[in-house]
Amino acid sequence: MIYVGRRPILFLCEGKNDYNFLKSIVVEKISSASYGEKDEIIRRMYEKGISASMVVIVEGGKERLMKNVPIIVSKMRSMRRRQEVFALVDCDHDTPDNLSKKIFEKISNIVSNPRRFHSYKPEVKFTRRGSFYYVISVTYVAHITLLIHVLTVPRALEYWVRGKRSLDYLKGDPWFRELIRALKELGIEVRP
């Protein structure tokens, strides 16, 4: 079960509806895992022992996802080369900027914690790539970088896909176009 191409991308989402949505737009092999399997998945990603191009961790709610994105920064500090993580987060009643900045602040707080990073504090940068798409880069020792791609969905994903038979109606929405662009930039093949 060795993955031969690029490293798989760890994809964090709030729930099963998000996972099913991703399965409907991505052509490549996707595997899913629950929140409790995250540590094993990360370890296997280091060893190239995953056959999927995307591993989706279903977090079990927005609060858990918001809490766990910074923890992944701590867990991935021993990686030997660049890694990509993608988080799909519902804005609910927040703005995309505020929500992504909250994630950035949580990551900044964890890398400033001397109990987590006692010998070296990683450098953290925040880049806006669109109206709904942001990238947070964390550079560890030896200049190895973790890129956390954050795509914020206006309202909630369920609002956009509830009762729809086709995703064609989403093609005109800016957040959906930014999601497709981000996935393509990461080398993930999406449905036309």
pLDDT tens-digit map of 116-136: 888 888 999 999 999 999 999
Q: Regarding predicted confidence, which is higher, 161 or 108?
A: 108
Stated pTM of the model:
0.89
pLDDT at 46: 63
Q: Sign (positive/negative) of CA torsion 166, 168, 169, 174?
A: positive
Q: CA 54 to CA 23: how far, in whole Å?
A: 10
181 part of a folded domain:
yes
190 part of a folded domain:
no
Residue 96 has pLDDT above 80, yes or no: yes
Residue 104 has pLDDT above 90, yes or no: yes
3 part of a folded domain:
no
pLDDT-based confidence at 2, cuts 50/70/90? very low
pLDDT averaged over every residue in the chain: 86
165 part of a folded domain:
yes
Domain that holds residue 105: 9-185
pLDDT tens for 14-69 read 988 898 899 889 988 887 888 778 778 777 766 666 666 778 888 889 999 999 99
Q: How many domains does the chain have?
A: 1
4 part of a folded domain:
no
Residue 40, number of CB atoms within 10 A of its CB: 11
Number of helices (H) and strands (E) in the chain: give both, helices first.
6, 7
Q: Regarding predicted confidence, which is higher, 89 or 144?
A: 89
